[in-house]
Amino acid sequence: MDKDLPKRVVVKLGTSVLTCGSPKLDRSHMVELVRQMARLHQAGVEIILVTSGAIAAGREHLGFPTLADSMASKQMLAAVGQSQLIQVWEQLFNLYGLHVGQILLTRADLDDRERYLNARDTLQALLDHRIIPVINENDAVAIAEIKVGDNDNLSALAALLAQADSLLLLTDQQGLYSADPRNNPDAQLIPQVALIDDSLRALAGGSGSTLGTGGMATKLQAADVAMRAGIEVVVTSGQTEGVIERVCRGEALGTRFLPQGDALDSRKRWILAGPPPCGTLRLDPGAVKALCQSGSSLLAKGICAVEGDFIRGATLTLTDPAGGVIGRGISRYGSTDIARLLGAHSSDIESILGFSYGPAVIHRNDLVVL
């Protein structure tokens, strides 16, 4: 294998890329994208495809029916369209002697550690057999509460799940611009991003197209998660000739988001990909320093305040005294217990609570510093 090629890549194709802006799947463009992925696969790159377009495919297959603007209509279209979509992918990859395997996920599959590990094993088994995993959200059954909601964020979670080296978000724009290129002729393409901050988020604004769900804002959210897990992210246009191969070969196309630090281990990736935090611990400066500089566990004596109502095992946000987020971790104690332990020494936990789950409130293996 070419040593400069990434080993494992998640390619996310938005609805606007699959339809080329029309109301139908553009099969001639899809075959071109498959050709590139098949060539990379041939060169030894493991490809995972995150595909949108189920709802668009459903509308097309049913002949564009007039439907109520309801959740049930969308779920019906997704149920019809997803089977069409996966058939198209299977047929197109077959042209290159490859098979696809469909994985439909929801937020709930990723929040539960056991289900997350099952999904990870299935992905690995597909890759081991040289089958292309094709992932989408399980739109036909997922309701808002258990949805990731957009395939940008879903693809970042898939990249964490698969421990990919790169995530390629293909869309209908060349990348992230310094202003909205549709109404600002001076807008400049931003070629590289090392850190996503509020000013960059302000640039991204809301969703751009009418067919898909995402926009630059969800792409930034996805990039933020993936970068923190040590995964490189590229956002660029799916219409550029040879785009997937060219990006994988290192050509500077679109906006490249640099990975921050090394790849995280499996449990820490799940802390980022898994359930959203349901509480916050505010730490004192000493604890912030111990976590950020020495990789220590979080002890009760470094916690100044606890917010939220949560049980042991919950994922929490950790902040500095000013409220700035410094990390995320899984708590060994529930919120009522932590409230009684604020500032206490680890050796006093048993006498204060009458029991102990160990000296650390969050063990360093359960903690990701951001």
The distance of closest approach from Cβ of residue 279 to ligand GLU in the complex, given in angstroms and rounded to an integer, is: 29
CB 62, min distance to ligand GLU, A: 14
Can residue 151 be called a binding residue for ligand GLU (CB under 6 A)?
yes
- Between helix 216-228 and helix 266-273 the angle, nearest 10°, is 160
The residue range among 51-59, 105-113, 270-278, 359-367 that interacts with ligand GLU, by the rule CB under 6 A, is 51-59
Residue 317 in the binding site for ligand GLU (CB under 6 A):
no
User: What whole-number distance in Å separates Cα of residue 138 and Cα of residue 131?
Assistant: 20
Asked if residues 5 and 249 have their Cβ atoms less than 8 Å apart, the reply is yes
| C-beta closer to ligand GLU: residue 209 or 346 | 209
Long-range contacts of 263-269 (CB under 8 A, 24+ apart): 263/163, 263/229, 263/230, 263/231, 264/228, 264/229, 264/230, 264/368, 266/120, 266/163, 267/365, 267/366, 268/229, 268/367, 268/368, 269/160, 269/161, 269/163, 269/229
Nearer to ligand GLU, 36 or 52 (CB): 52
- 60, 109, 139, 165: which one binds ligand GLU (CB under 6 A): 139
Widest pairwise Cα distance in the chain = 70
Q: Which residue's CB is nearer to ligand GLU, number 41 or number 147? A: 147
Pick the closer one to ligand GLU by CB: 139 or 165: 139
User: Which of residues 139 and 232 has its CB atom nearest to ligand GLU in the complex?
Assistant: 139
Q: Which stretch binds ligand GLU (CB under 6 A): 2-10, 38-46, 134-142, 189-197?
A: 134-142
State which of positions 56-115 bind ligand GLU (CB under 6 A).
Answer: none
Q: Which of 338, 336, 327 is nearest to 366 (CA)?
A: 327
Q: Residue for token digits 């111990």?
A: 290
Q: Binding residue for ligand GLU (CB under 6 A) from 75, 106, 163, 213? A: 213
**Which positions ≥6 away from 354 have C-beta within 8 Å?**
none
Interaction mask 152-191, ligand GLU, x per CB under 6 A? ----------------------------------------
- Provide the token pair at 21: 């802006």
Which residues neighbour 195 within 8 Å (Cβ) at sequence distance 6 or greater?
A: 260
Q: What is the enclosing helix (H) or strand (E) of 13?
A: strand 8-13
Of positions 30, 55, 170, 272, contacts ligand GLU by CB under 6 A: 55
Minimum distance, C-beta of residue 83 to ligand GLU, in the bound complex (Å)? 12
What residues make contact with ligand GLU under the rule CB under 6 A?
Answer: 14-15, 52-55, 136-137, 139, 150-151, 212-214
